[in-house]
Copies of this chain bind each other. A is one copy, B any other.
Amino acid sequence: MGNWEENVRKVVPYVPGEQPKMDNLIKLNTNENPYPPSPKVLEAKLDMSRLKLYPDPAADMLVSAIADYHGVDKSRVFVGVGSDDVLAMSFMSFFNSDKAILFPDVTYSFYDVWADMLHIPYKTVPLDEDYRIRPEDYKCGNGGVIFPNPNAPTGISLPLESVREIIEANRDVVVIVDEAYVDFGGETALPLTDEYDNLLVVRTFSKSRSMAGIRIGYAIGQEKLIKYLSDVKYSYNSYTMNMPSIILGTASIADEEYFREQVAKVVATRERTTKALEELGFKVLPSKANFVFASHKEKPAKEIFTAARERGIILRYFDRPRTDDFLRITIGTDEEMDSFIEFLKDFV
């Protein structure tokens, strides 16, 4: 090891869900939306000659569209390169206490990665035996709170009054509610941002807007919170949102009808899939997301995962305590889910 390596930040990198390059794959492993983005996105015109210019650092067109959509002032909206960028920047901006930040033991697997990388102390809070977040567990002194709602990979949604209870108990730190999946049936905490200056709600275009490939995430909070976040962002990289993101993201927001339709389709398929899984002997956690988290009475999850893969069906399996009996199954099209259920009928 050269001496220069002594001062290198050494991390155990996050391993993203696999993106296998096989044909005829049924890809139910990364919670992508099975439907394409809005026709307004597909037909949007990008003037590539404009690429010679820097994009608007404030991404004003996109920020204004998001602000109008949610009925808030644009000073209350922050955009980033996917919600991962927004969340990582939020960790960096808001979690600078010596006290541990809190998040569930079973949750989005990036939270501990960011905490480790940024040297932020953290403590995981066990979900209850039904895999639910208990607000009373978040009432001890801490350096900040973050949780997804609905939670991932459980899919379980926390009622708004419980979210409020957590915020009320943590007025001295920033509370981040990661609403990546909320459009599929959860209750949003956005209205609470009017009341609480320490609440940040984070959203993404990757799930309900079928635009994982464009990398857009955003956060909404009170102006002061957004200003702190923007200051850190501008100190890091002023121009993160490229021209195609700004144009195509704005086009997506403009098509509410298509958005509602395809979200409703995913939700209907989720309900149908849940029923079919239950009939096959699965326990399925009650999901308000675009995936279900399911455990079979007899067959070990890992075996199902491996057998499915051999049939070209890719699921997500988390080989960790409390989750190693479960499979996380992204909701695809009806046809994809039918193929998956057919496979299960053979296998279990």
Contacts and interface: CB of A to CB of B under 8 A. Distances in A.
Contacts of A27: 53
Given A3-B172, A242-B244, A11 B235 contact: yes
A163 interface: no
Contacts of A16: 54, 57, 234, 238-239
Q: In the assembly, how many copies of this chain are there? A: 2
A301 interface: no
A318 to B, nearest CB: 16
Interface string A219-254: 000001000101110111111111111001000000
Counting chain A residues whose Cβ lies within 8 A of the other chain, the interface size class is 35 or more
A56 interface: yes
Given A19-B57, A96-B7, A244-B244, A52 B81 contact: no
Interface of A is mostly: loop
Interface in A65-115: 81-82, 84-85, 88, 92-97, 113-114
Nearest to A216: B242
A112 to B, nearest CB: 10
Contacts of A238: 14, 16, 84
Interface stretch (A38-46, A124-132, A304-312, A340-348): A38-46
A287 interface: no
A48 B37 CA distance: 8
A171 B32 contact: no
Contacts of A49: 36-37, 42
A19 to B, nearest CB: 6
A9 B41 contact: no
A197 B2 CA distance: 8
5 contacts: A3-B173, A8-B94, A19-B57, A37-B48, A50-B213
